[in-house]
Amino acid sequence: MSSPNPVTAGTVLVLNSGSSSIKFQLIEPESGKSLAHGLIERIGEPEGRIVFHHTAGADERNDAIADHRTGLRAVLEMLEGLGRPLHEVGIVAVGHRLVHGGKVFYEPTLIDDDVVRAVDELSILAPLHNPANVVGMEVAREELPDIPHVGVFDTAFFHGLPPHAATYAIDRDIAHKHDIRRYGFHGTSHEYVSGRAAEFLGRDIADLNLVVLHLGNGASASAVAGGSPIDTSMGLTPLEGLVMGTRSGDIDPGVVMHLNRAAGLKVDAIDDLLNRHSGLKGLSGVNDFRALLKLVGEGDEDARLAYEVYVHRIRKYVGAYTFELGGVDAIVFTGGVGENNVDVRRDSLSGLDRLGIVVDDARNTADDDGERRISADSSQVEVLVIPTNEELAIARAAVQFARR
């Protein structure tokens, strides 16, 4: 890859190690300017994809990425190509997106060995994500040992969910002993997008009821009243809620017992089935939404059903949260699918005129990747597309914490 210009001082390196991908950005947190960013995806698959954007342009290649450690090494090597050794490019903090903080972590946290161990122990609640987060912390701390590393937790925004929304109706003593409650995830994105939606509308967030739909390989919905979440679709783990790339979302718990008794599957096999081989992948054979739509276009009936199940679940949550909020001012789409797929946005909200929700087809299909309104002028409810920027939110949280 070519060598772009050197970066300036006062930057934050943000690492977002997901279940099958790594996003990274080098950001000036005060201005919000991204000096370099990229994506490594399809980790562990026969052919991975690496995209790197920098001041001199962009590079892209397909290459097998065996695991997250290999991927993170590649990230650091690409950043070395910015013109100086990585430890000299002015990084003042490294911000890590961490998925599950349990009851312990709900604020930005300075990462040390104890935090790494605690996040690793919480992997039992987020088996797709926390292990990748741990590798990210380990490798980055090895490479940048003299820079503060700050963890920002996906669960933090939902820490204050009302008790009636956070509580599962199981034996209270067992729930208390094992910290069983609904934690919620994608919180950094939901919080950022809610704030941006209020700014876009020119309104005080304290006066807004929002339904936020974060749709990507992982997917979640939230009901936000006055800037605070009152409900969200994910629960104890990121498995609950909407249909996702490889996760089932909502499922009758009886399915777990049935698979154990009738199919002889042990708990780890069922865990693997529901987290890694369900959702769109379980129904159609693919979890990438672009690949799914290609199959739909070719007339694949399994892919068509997978798409319809996906949209059906979104509609259920939109309806439930609209009712729970007592009315909604705006529905906001974000995430890779939410920001880019016109069909999902249209089909998720079609036929809801009686609820005051009308999507304008021309606005929805317009070639625009910025913040935008896609609702019709006649719509009583605003429908917005707000690109998420979890990395910027993490960078700002990290640098504030590191300067204390």
Binding-site entries for Mg(2+): 16, 390
* Residue 272, beta-bridge partner list: none
CA distance 41 to 319: 33
Helices (H), 99-171: 113-121, 130-143, 163-166
Numbered residues of the known binding site for substrate: 97
CA distance 167 to 278: 26
CA 92 centroid distance within chain = 25
Six-digit token pair at 120? 């690793």
Farthest-apart Cα atoms in the chain, separation: 61
16: left (phi over 0), alpha (psi -120 to 50) or beta: beta
Numbered residues of the known binding site: 16, 23, 97, 214-218, 288-290, 336-340, 390
DSSP state at residue 278: -
Numbered residues of the known binding site for ATP: 23, 214-218, 288-290, 336-340
Question: Is-contact 281 246, C-beta < 8 A?
Answer: yes
Buried residues in 224-234 as b, exposed as e (16+ CB within 10 A): bbeebbbbbbb
* Residue 153, beta-bridge partner list: 98
CA angle 241, 247, 251 (to 5 degrees): 50
β-pairing, 330-334 vs 209-215, is: parallel
Query: Which positions are catalytic?
Result: 154
DSSP state at residue 381: S
